[in-house]
Each structure stands twice: as C-alpha cells, then as structure tokens.
Amino acid sequence: MVSKGGYKRKSMVGTVPVGFSYIETLISKEDKQKYGYSIKGSLSPEDQKLRNKALIVLLYYSARRISELVGRTIKLDVGHDTWPGVKVKDFRFDTVKGRDLLIMNVRILKKGKARRGSIKQVFREVAIDIHWPLMSHFLTWFEHQQKLGPEAKIFNVNRSRAFQILRALDEKVFNHWLRHQRLSHLGEYLTPFQLNERIGFWEKLDPAISYVHGRVSAYLDAGDKVAK
C-alpha cells in the first residue's frame, strides 16, 4: 500500500505473532546499546536506556501507534495539525475491582481524516495493570518525567527516532510491530467486540476480526466435542 506521501506502508499480512518472551528479549537488548549524551534534554546513556525500555513497554501494552505516543504533525490543505504526544498530565492511577491501574488518555489518529482537510479529535482511555510483567520499566521512567511537571512529554523523541530505536534492536520490527503483536496476543482470548471496545477503537469491526485467530487448544477441544 502506498500512502499519499509516496512511501510504501508496511502490510500486516503474514506477520507472525511472537511469544511474550520475545518482547522481554527486546527490552534486554536495550542494555547492550551504546549511547552518548542526547541532544534533547541532555539525557545520559543510562537515562536513554530507561526511556527506550519504557517506550517498548507502553507501545506493547497500550497497542497504540508510535505517532499517538510521541506525537506527529500532519500537513493539511488549511495548514497543519500537531499532536505533541502524551504528557505526564495524560496519565492517572486508579483502582478497579482491586486491580491497580495506570490510565492513559490518548488521542487516536483516524486514518484518512487528513485528506478531507481536518482531523477528527478522538480521545480514548487505555487501562494498563501496573503489576503486569515489564511495567516496572515504564513506571520508573514515568517517575523520572513527573519531576519535570505535568506538561512534560513522556517521550521526548519524534516518531522517526522512536522507530530507529526499535529497529536497532531487531531489523524485522516495523512501526506498528508492537501494536500488531499485542492485538494478536489479546485476540487469542478476546472476542472481536471486546478487542475493539477496549483497545482497537476502529470505526468498523473488520480489523478486530483479523486479530482473532483462536488458540490451537481451543480449536482441538472444539473438535473433540463435535466428534462426540
């Protein structure tokens, strides 16, 4: 698929879901990366590693696009639209049925709106259990950014740099790769309706259906029942 800007967009067709352990592997690889002090914010090499681990964790658990987390500017016929990315103030902690949650309020980028000269403002809340594996990486970085105030961006990188960070860990990773993995993992347990309501936010149900593959064990169990 070729976008309006002329670049070829990566297709999700044929992308095989990896196991959760591979997400852990990506994060562990970050410790081996070599950085100097960053130009933006003068982050130390260790701080950059903390930030990058937090980026991987939030991209995976939120299943959001890189642009929705770090921001982007879209050129329109009437000027341009800028979303700065999520900030400290866009997060809050809550407890639901005994579970400690981090709630992120994020702008959902709607495909095709720019072609009509405007951007539809759609915000949704994404809930993440703070006790899920790997969340400590994000919470450590979140505390770091909280010290800068509510207007501080969580990730002070643009989407090109964020993509480079991921590609340095695995050249097979593309810009929606973590989103695809998370949706595929959840699709093993959620119906298309649940997937769309809680994390997809698509205007049509078709995208959600494509992620619901069904566990092999559930398929075999169903076959046993039919045979009886």
pLDDT, one tens digit per residue, over 117-140 is 566 778 889 999 999 999 999 999
Residue 173 and residue 166 in contact, taking contact as beta carbons nearer than 8 Å: yes
Q: What is the share, in percent, of the chain residues with pLDDT greater than 70?
A: 76
Residue-wise pLDDT for 62-88, tens only, equals: 999 999 999 988 777 667 778 899 999
Kind of pairing between the strands at 123-129 and 99-107: antiparallel
Q: Would you say domain 20-186 falls under CATH 3.90.15?
A: yes
Q: What are phi and psi of 75, to 5 degrees?
A: -80, 130
Q: What is the share, in percent, of the chain residues with pLDDT greater than 90?
A: 49
- Whose structure tokens read 């960053």? 38
Q: How many alpha carbons fall within 13 Å on the CB side of residue 31?
A: 5
- CA dist 152 and 156 (Å) reads 9
Q: What is the mean pLDDT of the chain?
A: 83
Q: How many alpha carbons fall within 13 Å on the CB side of residue 50?
A: 14
- pTM summary value: 0.83
- CA dist 227 and 54 (Å) reads 48
Q: Domain boundaries in the chain?
A: 20-186, 187-228
The two structure tokens encoding residue 63? 């299943």
